[in-house]
Structure 1
Amino acid sequence: MTSQETAPMRKAPGGRPISSRLTGIDAARGAALLGMMATHVMPTFGPSPQWEPTFVGLMFSGRSAALFAVLAGIGLALSTGKQEPRNGTELWAARGGVAMRALVIAVVGLMLGGLDVNVAIILVHYAVLFLCILPFLGLRLKALCCWALGWVLLSPLLAYLVRPLLLEANPPLTLGHNPNWEDFGTPGRLVADLFFTGYYPVFQWISYLLIGLVIGRLALTTARVQVLLLTCGIAVAGLAKVVGILAMEAWGGRAALSALPVTRGYPLESMLEVNVTGLEQTGSWWWLATAAPHAGTSLDLLHSGGVAAAVVGLFLLLGTLAQRIKVNFLILLSGPGAMTLSLYSAHVWVVSGFTNQPLPSGWTDEGMYWAQALTAVVIGVCFAVLRRRGPLEWVAHTASSLGSHRPAAVG
């Protein structure tokens, strides 16, 4: 959730350091933030009894959160050597900085988890993902590609085998709410929920960070790589979605799953298009054949990971264009994208104030979203113009600097 891809600083004529950040990465992160906010505030299903998917549900559900995770991997790659990963003491220092940053994110997530809010808060899972990816930070591109592909293909299968054992425990090893400080009293249930039974199962979601590491180890400033990300991302995402639809609609998957008990009141057809969270996804191997958002299957990981790669490629191309014409038109997204931890946390806090409460007179879900989105854009642009970090980004950066500090050797 925090931005990590700041490149080495260069000096302006007056001596002031200028960041050579990849504006397109921040812009993609800003787009992911606004997409997640939309799914939190506006309905993803239409009214009963049809419960048809809405535009927001079809467009952003599952994809925005996955984009965040992929961007986290990209940021980690850029902050640990870009195309040439660090090694030795430099790598261990980088890992220490990432671990401290993860600690800050986890603390913020646990504090937000205590709020009464109808939002699946990603921050604690995000922090755990940072810790899980530490062993991979020193790998080169070829090894990362193998790990990413293997994790995408095998982690859903292993999760499918493990999940029933956790859900059949007494009591079931699932939280049913956002992780908070009280959950440390039941550490087994907390760990099981974070890794397998929760809204963002870390075990499968490691795939997104590995995909991000692969992307971050590429030459992202070259047009060839940017176009490759856009085109290949679209191709992979499209193919995975087509296979998933065929498996459900043409090969008998949805009919088989419809015969299973359903734990939510939405039609299975709509849930397969928007979000299958709430379904245990046990009792049939057909669950592994869906590309539904938040399914955590190989097809879902390939589809949402491909979408993320395409979005990154698109915004990198736009960033290159902005640099050539010397007009920073991406600042409306890159501004908030550079301080997503602060803005996301503020958004969750604001939404909690309206949970189980009627909206103010004259307000609609759409109006509430646009008010928050525009506020986030204005705040982000102001901080970007002033060249200041967001408040929580400052805390995370300071913690990262402390974690990566290594005392100078005494001669």
Structure 2
Amino acid sequence: MVRKVPPVGGVAPAGRRVVGGTFTADRGAHDRQRILGRTADGETRPGDSALFAVLAGFTLVIITGRPSPRTGRDGRQAAGRVVTRGVVLIALGFALTALDTSIDVILSFYGLIFLVVLPLYRLRATTLAVIAAGALVLPQVLYGVQQSIYDGAWSDTVIAWDPPARIGDSDGFTELLFTGEYPVLTWAPFMIAAMAVARLDLTDAKVRARLALTGGALAVVGYGGSWLALRLVPQARTVIADATDGGSASSAWWSDTVGDITDSTPPQWLLVAAPHSQTTFSLLGNAGVALVVVAAGVTVADRTPRVMRLLRPAAAVGMVALSAYVLHVVAVRVLGTEGGSMSALPVLSGYIAGAMVFAMVWTRHFRRGPLEYLLHTATRPARHIR
């Protein structure tokens, strides 16, 4: 029998932060520069995409049983719901990618990570935390795989036989696993860590305090370690700057102002912690930020109900995060608000305001967002699993 625990408040507002952050983070560096200005065109909130993955980990644990995993028939049905959810998100992500916007759509990566980490759902929090820590070697593995892809031809053969690769400008599952903006190999650790956190009793103030301290320590080790490494390793910043299309590499320990790799990736790149750099330092820093946000959100929900009432618009967006995200991508495609045709900051403000108004109106009448409801409906056949 699964022991019941109170629902975790404060997570839905974090979903609103994710939606707002992805409105800028999923756009290219050029769009972010237009939105934030040259003096602040770095990824000012590097934990947003990581927080997206962390909230996904919470979702998986809520579906499969919290704090203890479901077993027997209930467990099999829960696993079936997760598989369905993952497959639907993969398909939806490829469909949005086919719209050919400048947005790096996260949903297909998100769906595949669900499927990859699902076999771990019965593990205890401690075991999951150990696995997440061990996964810190995966950026080095990813670097080696990417070099073999760029230097060889085996990936071309795989892509040629991959049906999703024929949808839009995509390399299919090779992109999802290795070469995309959110490769499963380095983003699965976020979801595994979140699964460990979701198994904890977050209604306990001491547990939340330890979680916040752990997150802070991870952020310091990640960003601080990158800052130190970039200054201690001879010529590291010079090599990185020469290999990218941005400016100085001095801020690569936290910002994406260094730009993107233009040719081959030098080993020194593993020393940066810039957003989406897929390095161990980046994993540590982003995970730390995400854990602090979760701990803070749950603490605010527990101690200051009045503040939570003020945050209802943010919580509403968190409840319809999937719908808001998809509508954002579709709006960019339909309205043609990319490529410098419109002033970026007003457009961004309009997207965020529109998402909040939509969420407030919708959640006054319905428990789930429109796409959330369709996703829930798609998982209903799992009830027939024996």
Does 2:225 align with 1:243? yes
Evaluate the alpha carbon distance shift between residue 22 and residue 130 of structure 1 in structure 2; reply closer, same or farther with a 3 A threshold.
same
In 1: Cα distance, 2:304 partner to 2:94 partner: 38
Report the counterpart of residue 314 of structure 1 in structure 2: 296
Which moved further from structure 2: 214-223 or 81-90?
Answer: 81-90
Does 2:46 align with 1:65? no
In 2: Cα distance, 1:155 partner to 1:327 partner: 38
Report the counterpart of residue 44 of structure 1 in structure 2: 32
Which secondary structure does the structure 1 equivalent of 2:22 belong to? Answer: helix
Q: How does 1:109-128 map to 2 (within 5 A)?
A: 109-128=93-112
Find 1:200's aligned residue among 182, 195, 198.
182
Find 2:311's aligned residue among 301, 305, 330.
330
Q: How does 1:33-112 map to 2 (within 5 A)?
A: 33-40=19-26, 43-45=31-33, 52=38, 54=40, 57-60=42-45, 62-112=46-96
Quick check: 1:111–1:180 contact (8 Å CA) kept in 2?
A: no
Does 2:303 align with 1:341? no
Q: How does 1:363-382 map to 2 (within 5 A)?
A: 364-382=343-361
What are the Cα deviations for residues 69-108 of structure 1, in whole angstroms up to 9, with x where unaligned?
Answer: 0111122122222121223332222111001111221222
Quick check: 2:220–2:285 contact (8 Å CA) kept in 1?
A: yes
In 1: Cα distance, 2:358 partner to 2:236 partner: 45
Quick check: 2:43–2:275 contact (8 Å CA) kept in 1?
A: no
Evaluate the alpha carbon distance shift between residue 85 and residue 40 of structure 1 in structure 2; reply closer, same or farther with a 3 A threshold.
closer
In 1: Cα distance, 2:79 partner to 2:214 partner: 31
Which moved further from structure 2: 71-80 or 117-126?
Answer: 71-80
Does 2:138 align with 1:150? no
Does 2:218 align with 1:233? no
Report the counterpart of residue 217 of structure 1 in structure 2: 199
Give the residue type in structure 2 aligned to 1:302: L
Does 2:172 align with 1:190? yes
Find 1:159's aligned residue among 142, 145, 154.
142
Please state how far the C-alpha of 1:160 moved relative to its aligned partner: 1.5
Quick check: 1:70–1:211 contact (8 Å CA) kept in 2?
A: yes
Quick check: 2:240–2:269 contact (8 Å CA) kept in 1?
A: no
Which secondary structure does the structure 1 equivalent of 2:377 belong to? Answer: helix
In 2: Cα distance, 1:172 partner to 1:45 partner: 33
Give the residue type in structure 1 aligned to 2:385: R
Does 2:10 align with 1:24? yes
Evaluate the alpha carbon distance shift between residue 183 and residue 225 of structure 1 in structure 2; reply closer, same or farther with a 3 A threshold.
farther
What are the Cα deviations for residues 231-267 of structure 1, in whole angstroms up to 9, with x where unaligned?
Answer: 32122112210110111134336335247544x3555
In 1: Cα distance, 2:307 partner to 2:201 partner: 22
Instruction: Return the structure number with greater helix share.
Output: 2
In 1: Cα distance, 2:101 partner to 2:139 partner: 29
Which secondary structure does the structure 2 equivalent of 1:274 belong to? Answer: coil
Please state how far the C-alpha of 1:137 moved relative to its aligned partner: 0.7
TM-score (norm 2): 0.87
RMSD: 3.2
In 2: Cα distance, 1:186 partner to 1:317 partner: 43
Q: Which runs of 5+ in 2 are unaligned?
A: none
What are the Cα deviations for residues 208-250 of structure 1, in whole angstroms up to 9, with x where unaligned?
Answer: 1001101101101222222222232122112210110111134
Does 2:126 align with 1:138? no
Which secondary structure does the structure 2 equivalent of 1:121 belong to? Answer: coil
Evaluate the alpha carbon distance shift between residue 8 and residue 84 of structure 1 in structure 2; reply closer, same or farther with a 3 A threshold.
closer
Does 2:385 align with 1:395? no
Evaluate the alpha carbon distance shift between residue 383 and residue 184 of structure 1 in structure 2; reply closer, same or farther with a 3 A threshold.
closer
In 2: Cα distance, 1:158 partner to 1:97 partner: 31
Give the residue type in structure 2 aligned to 1:401: R
Which moved further from structure 2: 32-41 or 164-173?
Answer: 164-173
In 1: Cα distance, 2:355 partner to 2:318 partner: 10
Which moved further from structure 2: 65-74 or 76-85?
Answer: 76-85
In 2: Cα distance, 1:294 partner to 1:146 partner: 23
Give the residue type in structure 2 aligned to 1:33: V
In 1: Cα distance, 2:235 partner to 2:312 partner: 44
Evaluate the alpha carbon distance shift between residue 253 and residue 271 of structure 1 in structure 2; reply closer, same or farther with a 3 A threshold.
same
Quick check: 1:24–1:330 contact (8 Å CA) kept in 2?
A: no
Please state how far the C-alpha of 1:43 moved relative to its aligned partner: 4.2
Give the residue type in structure 1 aligned to 2:71: N
In 2: Cα distance, 1:29 partner to 1:36 partner: 10
Give the residue type in structure 1 aligned to 2:310: F
Question: How many percent identity over aligned positions?
Answer: 27
Evaluate the alpha carbon distance shift between residue 212 and residue 280 of structure 1 in structure 2; reply closer, same or farther with a 3 A threshold.
farther
What are the Cα deviations for residues 269-305 of structure 1, in whole angstroms up to 9, with x where unaligned?
Answer: 4666433774279554322222221111111101000
In 1: Cα distance, 2:113 partner to 2:155 partner: 23
Evaluate the alpha carbon distance shift between residue 281 and residue 142 of structure 1 in structure 2; reply closer, same or farther with a 3 A threshold.
farther
Evaluate the alpha carbon distance shift between residue 77 and residue 200 of structure 1 in structure 2; reply closer, same or farther with a 3 A threshold.
same
